[in-house]
Structure 1
């Protein structure tokens, strides 16, 4: 702990901007990721957020390797449609920080965030502790939810589960979407270690929705230790696609035909299972309304802009890419069929163009391997380095891609904004542009497109 981290001389004030507060909080701790609850708990208790959640709200906590954002979005939308006041916490954000903290679907204001940051900073200094950026901002979100007196809190775990700051709040309902190899430096390099960390969100006697058919022994051990009730995908609930607009969900108690949402059916089924297993009063009408309106930027996010067809997806590991490909292959066929009917376009004249970048501590090789071996007509790859400390370099991306595709298909740029402009200029209206690899890739591409709209 450095003296400067506990100094008040450089602390922003309530008159400071949100950007000034965010910059400050990124500088006051020795590392960006510092897992453990020993530092954050005294500050949380000083703020009263732990007791507030325990006394006043029903809490869903969602952990897992992939699909947390979609799952939390669906849970929140269903509860809101049923008339509850909903607090939703997600991370990271794509465009602006406020995306992380929502009440009834609306991002909270800069002023609300700044007020909470100021209170968290005061409590931190009183406790003479340093906190990471994620710890500070998560505490602020929890404080906002407590002060807003929300009925339901839907909380997305940032990293792992057991030692993540979100885990200071005892959940009433736990969801683990799936478990795969990711964040090996912090969670371990095998599914048993990772499963043990994610199952750390369990509490005695609560319900767990486990959203995958394969369960590590470490998760089952945690279920047994806590005497938790578990509903597992493929055993206790399942779903099937009926047609492009309808899907069917079933568990031991109900079978429902429902409108197809814009998000993954796997994550939607997990979310619905959690909602149905809760004591909340949420009827089929509210569920249907939620499924017709729920959306989440960057999750199989189809858009048309700049006279181009775009698909944005934050897939950044092997499992995430498998998820993307399972939906992308049918989408490509639908895209061709739609274009054929109106423009006489064939698969020979339309192609997929990839706008791609990743973080350097991810398994870039595995992701590229799966994308290149999936049988998709990817004609070109546009790559650039993300503006982020852990970004993979353009040279690293190029070297890996060159092992799988012809070098003539790889187009390198210094900035992602330049790659975004280039892919527009080098594509046709009938092509599909896929943007993937990281939350940061999606965020920078969307910012570049927004800037182009303003210019």
Structure 2
């Protein structure tokens, strides 16, 4: 069946809809199809310093911090992240600013021409990633900061050779695609490592053998958390420490372990960045959905994309610190839903120690967990069921007081619904 190919005069939405139809599956790991198209676009050898970040959790915080520090240092920085929470443009930023629709559309026109020239299909993620690389090339960015989408070795982001590789941590996630053990998943993440480059391993865990083997094979230089660099916390500040220096930073909303990995990557990169610029960048680094604090209708809100036990464990630590500073909060209620292929039981077990009331609804996506399963996992908890996340959020607002905190978590899709409500609601 033939399909209409958009043109330069079509909208961004039209192009995004088009890219969902070009390839038979949404996820198709492998670089064979995308490499010829990338070559035709002339994006494979950027004249820029490239930081690539892989890992199970923390990629967004790490890439955001990297870009913020490099922006503070005056570099022209292209930042690529996924997924977006609300607008697609969030995925592609230059100097901290989302690119405009017309810039994306122009890039999509170029990607489509290259795709047809090569007579190949591209998945949505492949096409949109190539568009980001094309934009960074056209804008002559000094530095590219790239977040791997899924895994590492076979992810389209890995067509670009990084100058510095960061692996945040290794957890059991996306097991259908990446394997059912830490070592199998570590093997995929290690695919971003190249010969003779600095590799930062920020996992709060034993270095997986697959990563150690790849580092040895590539004769890369390892900087490992709790061996080559550390961070320490006080009530007022936190400190990054290496054998050569110690720098003090104010607490922000992003995970210290991820911000310290970004700082270590900057230090290992050889780029000219002062300590003051590092401090300014860390202070400026903010990321929607990472312990995002809001006030709405006199209510305390925390929105967090934590969707697996590792992420939720860190969320609990942040929440504990927040509650210590806000003695007026007497109760935490959750607006909650998850995707069916996640460790729902593990997440719920961690959250039931702090959440009093649960406001649940099915997500409006194909991989959504059913209400029946959510209710089963929350058996014995005080639970309120709605037809949509926005209705759940409304109910949580109505049934809570200004002394109660509403936590929104479980999935990007859960946050997306609440973000839309907040954007359109009457404050």
TM range (shorter): over 0.9
Indicate which of 17, 41, 48 corresponds to 1:23. Answer: 17
Query: Which of 31, 46, 60 is residue 40 of structure 2 equivalent to?
Result: 46
What is the match of residue 225 of structure 1?
Answer: 217
Q: Which residue of 2 aligns with 1:180?
A: 171
1:16-37 Cα deviation digits (max 9, x unpaired): 1111111111122111110000
Equivalent residue number for residue 344 of structure 1: none
Distance in 1, matches of 2:326 and 2:359, equals: 21
Q: 1:236 aligns with which of 219, 228, 236?
A: 228
Q: Note if contact 1:357-1:441 (Cα within 8 Å) is conserved in structure 2.
A: yes
Q: Distance in 2 between matches of 1:74 and 1:398?
A: 37
Q: Note the residue ranges of structure 2 that are not aligned, 5 or more in a row.
A: none
Q: 1:13 aligned to 2:7? A: yes
1:101-134: CA deviation from partner (whole Å, max 9, x where unpaired): 0000000000001111111111111111111100
Alignment equivalent of 1:428, drawn from 374, 382, 401: 401
Look up the SS of the partner of 1:119 in the other structure. Answer: helix
1:306-321 residue pairs with structure 2 within 5 A? Answer: 306-321=297-312
Runs of 4+ in structure 1 over 4 Å off = none
Render the CA deviation track for 1:170-229: whole Å, top value 9, x for unaligned: 000000000010000000010000000000000011110000242111110111111110
Three-state SS of the structure 2 residue aligned to 1:236 is: coil
2:48 maps to which residue?
57
**TM-score under structure 1 length normalisation:** 0.92
- Supply the distance in 2 between the matched residues of 1:439 and 1:157 (Cα, whole angstroms): 17
List per-residue Cα deviations over 1:131-186 (Å, max 9, x = no partner).
Answer: 11000100000100000000000000000000000000000000000001000000
Alignment-derived partner of residue 316 in structure 2: 325
Are 1:260 and 1:291, in contact at CA under 8 Å, matched by a contact in 2? Answer: no
Q: What do you get for the CA RMSD once the two structures are aligned?
A: 1.2
Instruction: Return the TM-score normalized by structure 2.
Output: 0.98
Matched, 1:452 2:425: yes
Report if aligned partners of 1:420, 1:449 keep a CA contact under 8 Å in 2.
Answer: no
Query: Is 1:276 the equivalent of 2:267?
Result: yes
Equivalence map 1:40-189=2 (5 Å): 40-51=34-45, 53=46, 56-189=47-180
1:419 maps onto 2:395 in alignment: no
5+ unaligned residues in a row in structure 1: which ranges?
Answer: 340-346
- Counterparts of 1:58 and 1:228 in 2: how far apart (Å)? 17
